[in-house]
Amino acid sequence: MCGILGIIHNRKYNLSNNEFKKINQQNFNRGPDNQGIENILISNKFVKLGHSRLSILDLSKKANQPMYSSSERFIISFNGEIYNHLDLRKILNQKKNIKWKTTSDTETLLNLFENYSNQDVLKKIEGMFAFILLDKKENKILVARDIAGEKPLYFCFNNLFTAFASDLKTLTKIPQIKKDIDGNSVQKYLEYNYIPSPNTIYKNIFKLHSASYILLDLNKFTFENVNNYNQLNTIKGIENKKWWNLDFKRKNSQNNNINYYEEKISYELKKSVKQQLISDVPLGAFLSAGIDSSLIVSLMQEFNNKTKTFNIGFEENDYDESYYSKEIAKILSTDHTSYIFTENDILNTIQTTSYAYSEPFADSSQLPTLIVSKLAKEKVKVVLTGDGGDELFGGYNRYIYANRFWKKLNILNPKIRNFIVINLLSLSPMRLLTFLGKRFNLNLNPSSIRKIILKLKSINSELTYYHALTQEWTSDTNILINNHDNKNSFEIEKIFKLNNYLFEEKMMIADFFTYLPDDILCKVDRATMHYSLESRAPFLNKSLIENSFDIPLKYKINKGNSKIILRNLLKKYIPEKLIDKPKKGFGVPIGKMMRGSLKSWTNDILSKNRCSKHGFFDFNIVENEKNNHFNNITNNQYKLWSLIQFNEWFHNVHMQK
């Protein structure tokens, strides 16, 4: 993994090589092993490419970037790993006699572009990536991102320059770039605890969608301000398209039995894990004791003698799974390292979150993810994770209980529904949990159930129900002083109009395209890269993704159990008692700490003075939500955490020059 940077500018924009070097150094955490730049004049435009290298394959200087192809037609700045690059080398060697200079996947990628079209190359490569490729013969620049959005790519277009980078902070260091906060993005951030792609916290800076590319024709392209992602394809010389998408047509395999799918997924997952073990540096894995990471580590042990595994435990028993991870590590004979996450660790780590994430991000599991990344970096340079298993195989609680609620809700008259809501909310939290738990077989905490019930009034479709399940601050809360656009994503709307998928399956697809890249993968990438550690996700293999969405729902979720196929595969390696246990997730007891050791800190960060610095939040609502939490009236930990992270980002990142 690395950091990439590309700036294309005209003669009016004066950017020296020394200035470009300083901007490139903003990617240092992503690639501390080498920093390289190239400056090329082509089609009367300056093309500057920068690269910060975290050396994983071929540690020699020959594999440094930016790298030229053998003919010097192509030059690339590449971030990621191409896991099937050795297989692709064999194919290339059959076509022509190539004199390889390195054993790096970067050189393999360049030779693929020498021999195949852009679309063919993107379809052939299996891996995680973001890259900037200059074709000096065609005078074109191709910028592309991987299938699931594991590797980040930010960009900006204006009338002086066009820029691409791995980190938002890197772009904001470019002279004359605007840092105007987008109120619509603040609205979406408060709803989801992250800013959904393609938007960022800034008005004129965007994220490239997963499985997408931008192609610039430098002969035709003119510098223009881009204020909206959809504006890209209206500008001469720009092509912005998806290079891959799910085939939403069901295949003929829907009638196969569960053994058929287990064998297929087992084969694909083993193949993916084996491919992802390619490395010239020490490699390990995160082991949370959940089904996904346990299965990945089990398969790694089939190919490795002694996998190094890492886990974070908690002093708070309700959050701690370190006992189970130690038991699993013992059974699998891994070289296991566990660390108990203390309140002091939380206090110290909080100071780094805003810098590590570059823009507001409020998934509180970012804290243990940062700590376990720091822990792993002491022994390895690469880790495998279980990310993607929940979205592909039905792991989240909402997939289990959502449809039960929906079937009941959909037949109720809105007035009757409101009457029921009022009466349910009159119950004490524990009585509410007992009442609904028995009827719907739910495994939820009282706060989560109350949150869902409060949103029942506004639900009128599968789409609004999905948003109710995934949003924190709803758009009608009026936390923001000014109203902002609250349109749904067009892509998400299309998903919920699919007639050949069940409601739970639509949620999984929607999560794959939104929550997975913008929350889960963003969380892990920024945390690991903060400590110059590469993370890999074997579940996010292209073939595995496509096959998983063709599996009938009954083989993913059945009788209140999730991830049926993965559970069955894991039973071959570890005892059932370590598999069939309640899921605790990877959160931290941040709500309890806000009432205790973090109370004065919370008051300070959410003070009237701090909130008035940016002027987005209605302080009366902030104060009310804060006091309700302090007094144990409602559990507002996630709402308050999102406000805290915004204020911290504004002070520590946005206001810094």
603-618 confidence digits (pLDDT tens): 999 999 999 999 999 9
Quick one: tokens of 552? 């009938």
Q: Report the alpha-carbon distance of residue 637 to residue 145 in Å, rounded.
A: 34
Confidence check: pLDDT of 415 > 80: no
Give the DSSP letter string of 603-625. Answer: HHHTSHHHHHTT--B-HHHHHHH
Q: Are 85 and 110 in contact (CB under 8 A)?
A: no
Confidence check: pLDDT of 331 > 90: yes
Identify the residue with better confidence: 637 or 471: 637
Least confident of 120-134, 476-490, 497-511: 476-490
Do 53 and 181 belong to one domain? yes
Is 99 among the domain residues? yes
Confidence check: pLDDT of 637 > 80: yes
Confidence check: pLDDT of 488 > 80: no
Is 351 among the domain residues? no
Percent of the chain clearing pLDDT 90 (strictly above): 73
Is 465 among the domain residues? yes
**Using one digit for the tens of pLDDT, what is the confidence trace for 342-389?**
888 888 898 899 999 999 999 999 999 999 999 999 999 999 999 999
Is 304 among the domain residues? yes
Confidence check: pLDDT of 485 > 90: no
Q: Are 438 and 560 in contact (CB under 8 A)?
A: no
Do 65 and 158 belong to one domain? yes
Is 534 among the domain residues? yes
* Enclosing domain of residue 262: 258-345+360-394+525-578
Question: Of 506, 538, 560, which residue sits at a domain end?
Answer: 506
Do 236 and 287 belong to one domain? no
Q: Is 44 exposed, middle or buried (0-12, 13-18, 19+ CB in 10 A)?
A: exposed
Identify the residue with better confidence: 389 or 320: 389
Q: For residue 462, what pLDDT is reported?
A: 86
Query: Which of the four pLDDT bands, split at 50, 70 and 90, describes residue 223?
Result: very high
Confidence check: pLDDT of 332 > 80: yes
Do 94 and 205 belong to one domain? yes
DSSP state of 63: G
- Of 560, 530, 597, 315, the closest CA to residue 439 belongs to 560
Is 26 among the domain residues? yes
From 2, 156, 522, 611, active-site residue: 2
CA separation (Å) from 434 to 189, 346, 430? 33, 33, 6
Do 192 and 337 belong to one domain? no
Q: Report the alpha-carbon distance of residue 434 to residue 445 in Å, rounded.
A: 10
Assign 62 to helix, strand or coil: helix
Question: Of 186, 215, 242, which residue sits at a domain end?
Answer: 242
Least confident of 410-414, 567-571, 604-608, 650-654: 410-414
Determine phi and psi for 240, rounding to 5 degrees: -125, 115
Do 408 and 385 belong to one domain? no
Average pLDDT over residues 219-246: 94
Confidence check: pLDDT of 142 > 90: yes
Do 55 and 158 belong to one domain? yes
Confidence check: pLDDT of 500 > 70: yes
Total domains in the fold of the chain:
4
Bridge-based pairing state of the strands 308-314 and 335-341:
parallel
Percent of the chain clearing pLDDT 70 (strictly above): 91
Q: For residue 559, what pLDDT is reported?
A: 84
Question: Of 558, 578, 598, which residue sits at a domain end?
Answer: 578
**Using one digit for the tens of pLDDT, what is the confidence trace for 234-260?**
999 999 999 999 987 766 566 689 999
Is 515 among the domain residues? no
Confidence check: pLDDT of 596 > 80: yes
Quick one: tokens of 4? 């990439």
Do 486 and 628 belong to one domain? no
Do 183 and 217 belong to one domain? yes
Confidence check: pLDDT of 508 > 70: yes
Is 302 among the domain residues? yes
Do 67 and 189 belong to one domain? yes
- Indicate if 2 belongs to the active site: yes
Confidence check: pLDDT of 116 > 90: yes
Do 285 and 142 belong to one domain? no
Quick one: tokens of 248? 């939403």
Q: For residue 482, what pLDDT is reported?
A: 73
Do 53 and 117 belong to one domain? yes
